[in-house]
Structures are given as structure tokens and as C-alpha cells.
Amino acid sequence: MSRVALVTGGSRGIGAAISVALKEAGYKVAANYAGNDEAAAKFTAETGIPTYKWSVADYDACAEGIARVEADLGPVDVLVNNAGITRDAPFHKMSRDQWQAVMDTNLSGLFNMTHPLWPGMRERKFGRVVNISSINGQKGQFGQANYSAAKAGDIGFTKALAQEGARAGITVNAICPGYIATEMVMAVPEKVRESIISTIPVGRLGDPADIARCVVFLASDDAGFITGSTITANGGQYLT
């Protein structure tokens, strides 16, 4: 029987590529999103993957949303915590709202989504949790004290939870993408994009599929011995 995968922020960008790759690998996939109904409807029409709307920043909404997904598809075996936002500003101009919004989605979102699913994974003695962190959680980034802190927190969360899940057959890993050619990155002026690319040794931006392939591997039975790890997928831009 097919395993069930739930991808947060799975309707656009990197998350959409992850949802599609997991579907192609044979999973029953549910893609969560926050508010862009139009993009979600288009994604479902194009891929046949059902989308579910709630905010990962809201614990109760996560528990309710997960219950809906499980009623439709069955118990979730694979959770991909991909939803993320930016609210950039130099620290002296960063508002508390900018700080909190990024913490709530990019860090607490991992707690809110993983916590309701954890008991079921423990009972069934199988689970895969893949957390999408960032190169900027590894190296820090000007204007992103909030984002870098949250993404570094995702790595700490991954390492701690990996130790708790190991005996229960649950692996927990993180992926740190570098600059990926999503709509957001492609929308910046070509000159800026070229200057970013000049700092990437492989000479190109990442493709969402580059990250999706890492997720499919970490979700597989073949990756059962890998837990608490961080896969750095950044074209050599920052070496850890």
C-alpha cells in the first residue's frame, strides 16, 4: 500500500516540486498551503494532488488540518516541513512583528506540524520527517536575523528529535537549500541574479527538483540509517 506524505507549503516553489516528486515516487501526497487559493487550485488541476489550507503557525489549525488529511488519505508516514516566509530588514529596522511572523512560521511551524503526528509515527514504528532549512541558517545573512535564527533553530530541532525518534523507526533530517530558481528568486533583476550566480561554484541556481530529489531519498527505506543529518544542497556556495 502507498505511504502517505504531507508537504507543508506544498503548492508552490520548492514545495510543489517536492509534492510532485513524492507523487511520482508512489506516495499518496497532500499539499498544505496558507492562503493563495488560486495557486493551490491551479496546482491541484495540473497535478491531481489535493491541497489543504491552514497556517502552520497555528497549532490548533495544524491538528485539525492533519485530521482532515488523515481522514482522506490515511495516516501520515512522511512529513515535509517546507512552508517558510521571509520578512527581511536590517536588525535596527526589524519590527517585533517581522521577527515573530518568521519565528511562528519557520520555527514554531515545525513544532506545530510534527507534534500532532509524532504519537502516530511512534505507534506505527515508522516515520520520516524532513525539514527544509536554508543556507542562511548555516552562514547567517545580512537583513535576515529573524530568518537565519529560525532556520538555524530548524537544524537544532532536527538533531534533537532524531535522537528521540531513532528507536521508534522515525528519521528526522534537514535539507539546507542554497539559492533556488523559484518565482521569488527569478523575479529579482537579472543583474542581481547574475551576481548571485557568480558566487555559486557550480555556476547556476539550484532547481526545485534538486531539493525534491533529496527529499525523496530521505523519505525512502534506503535512507533508514540516516537521521539527524543536514544535507547541504547549495552548489558549493557555502561549505559546512
Ligand X SMILES: NC(=O)c1ccc[n+]([C@@H]2O[C@H](COP(=O)([O-])OP(=O)(O)OC[C@H]3O[C@@H](n4cnc5c(N)ncnc54)[C@H](OP(=O)(O)O)[C@@H]3O)[C@@H](O)[C@H]2O)c1
Q: Which of 27, 11, 23, 15 is nearest to 74 (CA)?
A: 27
Tell the smallest beta-carbon distance from residue 23 to ligand X (Å). 16
C-beta closer to ligand X: residue 14 or 126? 14
Query: How far apart (Å, rounded) are the C-alpha atoms in residues 156 and 170?
Result: 17
C-beta closer to ligand X: residue 11 or 126? 11
58 in Cβ contact with 32 (< 8 Å): no
Catalytic residue among 27, 33, 52, 147: 147
CA dihedral 170, 19, 21, 219 (to 10 degrees): 0
C-beta closer to ligand X: residue 34 or 94? 34
Tell the smallest beta-carbon distance from residue 214 to ligand X (Å). 12
Chain positions contacting ligand X, by CB under 6 A: 8-9, 11-15, 32-36, 39, 55-57, 82-85, 105, 132, 134-135, 177, 179-180, 182-185
Phi, psi of 227, deg, nearest 5: -150, 145
Tell the smallest beta-carbon distance from residue 21 to ligand X (Å). 13
Which cell is 126 given? Answer: 515508522
Q: Is 147 a catalytic residue?
A: yes
Q: How many CB atoms lie within 10 A of CB 23?
A: 18
The residues assigned a catalytic role are: 147
